[in-house]
Structure 1
Amino acid sequence: MRILNQVKTAGLLGLLSGLIVLASYYLVGNESGLYLGLAIAAFMSFSSWYYSDQAALASFRAQPLAPEASPDLYRTIERLSDRAGLPMPKVFVAPLDTPNAFATGRDPDHATIAVTQGLLNSLSSEEIEAVIAHELTHIRNRDTLIQAVAGTLAGGITFLGRILTLGALYGPFSGRPGQRGNNPLVLFFLIIGAPLSAGLIQMAISRTREYAADLGAVGITGDPLALASALQKLEGLSHKFPMRANPAMVPLLTVNPLSKKGLMALFMTHPPTEERIRRLQALAQEKQQETQNTPALAA
């Protein structure tokens, strides 16, 4: 399953890069656009890889948390990082009432875990451990890099779509030496369909990674019900304390705090919380049955 998810993620990232190349090719009108698109995709991928943590932390106004300010939290993260086989990440806190958390950073050696003040105030120690383990799994699986690259590429596609829109409104793209004629269907797709497709692909990548992070968290803590309880609280309290978040950064969060009604359901960055909880509860039952059957097998 892990390999299948990695292949699926790589394929979706490839589609995003392909859309950028196609848009650049059509914008320039000849083969030079292919090279321009590849250069844009490479530049965006490198920029998001190197600077994604700064953008995410600034978006949520997160600040470094000193060890003496929250020694229990630091000890928890150190212990769980050791279990996960990861170096100790930097720890930040965001001054938000909505309980949530996220991980960011270009690799495990440059990773950061940020929690909101609402999470520290609302969850039990076991639930906080489960959420931290979930975010550590994102770091171990390098989901922080994947999500940053996907978001940046999707944003680039939207930007190119806007340029094409202006060109279609104020002047044709054809007519320059070496440039191919316009195809209205391709132009329509690049202006409307490509940005929409990019958004849907970005969300699909995020949803694919969340189930894996839930499973990894259980492997670290051994307590699926603690994560199920944490997710239930995060989901409920996100309605009581709404978060004004940059939609581009929402895939990083443990639970999506934005609306999931109507058309917004198409752009869900996370699987339904109810389904995540159901899977965790089923996993807890499996673990309980294995525990009960072990003495019988030994006998």
Structure 2
Amino acid sequence: MAAMNQFRTLALLALLSGLIVLAGYLLVGDETGLYYGLGFAAVSSFGSWYYSDKAALAAFKAQPTPREEAPELFERLERLSDRAGIPTPTLYLVPSESPNAFATGRDPNHAAIALTKGIVDLLPDDELDAVIAHELTHVRNRDTLTQAVAGTLAGSLTFLGRILTLGALYFPMARAGGRRGNNPIAILFLLVVGPFAAGLIRMAISRTREYAADAGAAEITGNPLALVRALERLEEMGQKVPIHGNPAFAPLFIINPLSKDGMMTLFMTHPSTDDRVQRLKAMAAEIAGSTANTKELSSSV
């Protein structure tokens, strides 16, 4: 299952990069645009790889927290990181009452986990462990990099669409010699179809990675039901106190941090909490069944 999730994610990222290359071709009007599109995708990916953590932490005013200010949180993070088999990420606290958490960083050696004040105050120990384990799984699976690259590529495609549209509106004769010129189909693709497709691909990547992180949290803690309780509690409280920040970083959070009112429901980056809960309950039932079988074998021996 993990290998299939990785393959699916790579395929979706390749498709997203392909849309960027196609956008470059449509923007320039000939084969040169393919190289421009490829270069643009490469530069965007590198920028997101190197700077995404700084941008995400700054967007929500996350502050690095010294060990002496939160010794219990540090011990908790170190213990769970050891179970996950990764270096302990840097701990950040977000000054928000909205209960949520996210992980960021280009690789496990340059990772950070941010917890809001609201989630630290709200969750009991076992549920906070489950949330941190979920974020550590994102780090272990390098989902933080995947989400950053996917978000940047999707934004780049939208940016290219705006360039072509502005060019068609304000410089209609500048491209008269181009093979495609101001092709209305190209404009439609770059302005509407491309960004919409990129958004759908990004949502598919995000949802796939959330399911995998939930499973990882259950593995690290051995307690899927703790994450069930945490998700239900966060879902209820998070909508009462939504967090304020750049919506481009919404896929990073364990629970959708934005309001679900109005148009925001059309582009949800997270699977439904009910679906995640049902999957985790199925995992808990499997663990319970396996434990019962082990006890029966032990007693019979």
* TM-score of the two chains, using structure 1 as the length reference: 0.96
Alpha-carbon contact 2:103-2:112 (below 8 Å) kept: yes
How far 1:175 sits from its partner (Å)?
4.5
Q: Is the 8 A contact 2:103 2:252 kept in 1?
A: yes
- 2:284 matched residue in structure 1: 284
After TM superposition, the structure 1 stretch with the greater mean CA deviation from structure 2, 45-54 or 184-193, is 184-193
Amino acid at match of 2:36: L
CA shift for structure 1 position 106? 0.5
Q: CA deviation at 1:198?
A: 1.0
Between the aligned partners of 1:258 and 1:44, the Cα distance in structure 2 is 25
Name the structure 1 match of 2:102: 102
Query: 1:89-119, CA deviations, whole angstroms, 9 ceiling, x for partnerless residues?
Result: 1000000000111100000000001100001
Aligned partner of 1:27 in structure 2 is: 27
Contact 2:158–2:190 (CA under 8 A) maintained in structure 1: no
Distance 1:246 1:270 in 2: 16
Which letter does structure 2 place at the counterpart of 1:42? A
Deviates more, 1:258-267 or 1:111-120: 258-267
Cα separation, 2, equivalents of 1:211 and 1:154: 22
The answer (yes or no) to whether the contact 2:168–2:182 under 8 Å persists in 1 is no
Shift of 1:296: 2.1
Displacement of 1:22 in angstroms is 1.2
Give the secondary-structure state (helix, strand or coil) at the position aligned to 2:269.
coil
Q: 1:143 to 1:166 in 2, by over 3 A?
A: same
How far apart are residue 289 of structure 1 and its match?
Answer: 1.9
Partner of 1:134: 134
Paired position in structure 2 for 1:6: 6
Q: Deviations over 1:69-95 (max 9, x none)?
A: 111110011011111111111000000
Cα distance, 1:175–1:268 mapped onto 2, change above 3 Å:
closer
- 1:11 maps to amino acid: A
Q: CA deviation at 1:265?
A: 3.4
Distance 2:239 2:213 in 1: 23
Distance 1:175 1:114, change over 3 A: closer
Matches within 5 A, 1:1-299: 1-172=1-172, 175-177=175-177, 179-260=179-260, 263-298=263-298, 299=300
Counterpart amino acid of 2:211? Y
Q: Deviation digits for residues 168-207 of structure 1, max 9, x if unmatched?
A: 3233377544533454333212211111111111111100
Change (3 A) 1:3 1:183: same
1:93 counterpart SS class? strand
Q: SS of 1:115's equivalent?
A: strand
How far apart, CA to CA, are the structure 2 residues paired with 1:154 and 1:92? Answer: 27
1:106 maps to a residue whose letter is R
> 1:122 and 1:133 mapped to 2: Cα distance?
17
Number of aligned positions between the proteins:
299
TM-aligned CA deviation for residue 216 of structure 1: 0.5
Q: Contact between 1:62 and 1:114, CA under 8 Å: does it hold in 2?
A: yes
The question of whether the paired residues in 2 share the 8 Å contact of 1:29 and 1:174 is answered with no
Identity of aligned residues (%): 61
SS at match of 2:152: helix
**1:242 CA displacement:** 1.7
Bigger drift between 144-153 and 175-184 goes to 175-184
Instruction: Name whichever of 212-221 and 7-16 sits farther off.
Output: 7-16
C-alpha displacement of 1:266: 3.5
Pairwise CA distance, 1:283: 1.3
The TM-score, its normalising length taken from structure 2, stands at 0.95
> Structure 1 residues 288, 173: closer, same or farther in 2, change over 3 A?
farther
**Letter paired with 2:61:** R
Q: What do you get for the CA RMSD once the two structures are aligned?
A: 1.5
Distance 1:38 1:156 in 2: 12
Indicate conservation of the 8 Å contact 1:13/1:150, yes or no.
yes
Q: CA deviation at 1:279?
A: 1.1
1:156: Cα distance to partner? 0.4
Change (3 A) 1:175 1:276: closer
Give CA deviations for 1:126-183 in whole Å, capped at 9, x if unaligned: 1111000000000000000000000000110011111111123233377544533454
CA contact (8 A) 2:175 2:182 kept: no
Cα distance in structure 2, aligned partners of 1:199 and 1:91? 30
What secondary structure is seen at the aligned counterpart in 2 of 1:297?
helix
| Counterpart Cα distance in 1 of 2:185 and 2:191 | 10
SS in 1 for 2:30: coil
